[in-house]
Amino acid sequence: MTDNQHQSPTQTDDYLETMSKHIEVLLHASETPLTDTVLKKQLSLTVEELTQALERLQLRLASGVLRLYKTASGYRLQISDDYSALIQRVFPQRQERLSQALLETLSVIAYKQPVTRSDIEHVRGVTLSSNILRQLFDKGWIVEDGYKDTLGRPALLHTTPQFLDAFGLTHLDELPPMPDMEAIRAMS
C-alpha cells in the first residue's frame, strides 16, 4: 500500500499532479523514450498512479506545443504535428528525405516480415541496392534475425522498435492497411 492510498482527495490530487510534473521532467531530461517500468520504479508509483499521472500530464500538455506520445520504446515528449511546417521552414536541414526505393523496401519488410533480400526484390520487381539496406541498418530500423531454411540460408529481415519509434507506432498492427494493388491498377 502506498502513502497515497491513505490521503484525502485533495492530497491525492496534489500527489498525482506532482508525479505528472516529475514524469514530464524525466521525459525532458531523457534522450530516449521511458517505459512504464522505468517510470514506476523511479517514481515509486503503482500502475494506477502512473496511469493517472500520465493522463494529467496529457491534459496539461494539451494547451501547449508538446504532446505525450507512447511508442514501442516507451513514452516521449514531442512537438505537436501542428508545428511541423514552421519547423521545416526554419530548420530545413532537419527534414530528411527518404527515397521512394528506401520507403518501398521498408514497406515490404514492415508488412511482410520476416523477408529475405530475394523476397523484397520479387515484390518490388527490381534488384535491391545494398546502399538502401545499409541505410536501413544504419538508422537501426531493420535487423537480421534468423535464416530462411532454403538453399544458401539467406538472412531474414525484420523491423526494430527504432522503426516503430521513428514512425510514431507502438505495434506493427498500427500500420495502415495495405492498399489493394489490383484495384489501384484497374483505376489507372
Each domain of the chain, given as residue ranges in start order, spans 3-86, 96-187
**Phi then psi for 75, rounded to 5 degrees?**
-90, 145
Of the candidate ranges 7-11, 50-54, 130-134, 168-172, the one whose mean pLDDT is the lowest: 7-11
Angle of helix 9-29 relative to helix 47-61, nearest 10 degrees, comes to 70
Domain 96-187 falls under CATH 3.40.50.1000? no
132 DSSP assignment: H
Whether 125 has a pLDDT exceeding 90, the answer reads no
Tally the residues of the chain: 188
6-15, 106-115, 133-142: range with lowest mean pLDDT: 6-15
Indicate the pLDDT class of residue 88, thresholds 50, 70 and 90: confident
Instruction: Specify the CATH number of the domain 3-86.
Output: 1.10.10.10
Q: Is 105 exposed, middle or buried (0-12, 13-18, 19+ CB in 10 A)?
A: buried
pTM: 0.65
One fold for 3-86 and 96-187: yes
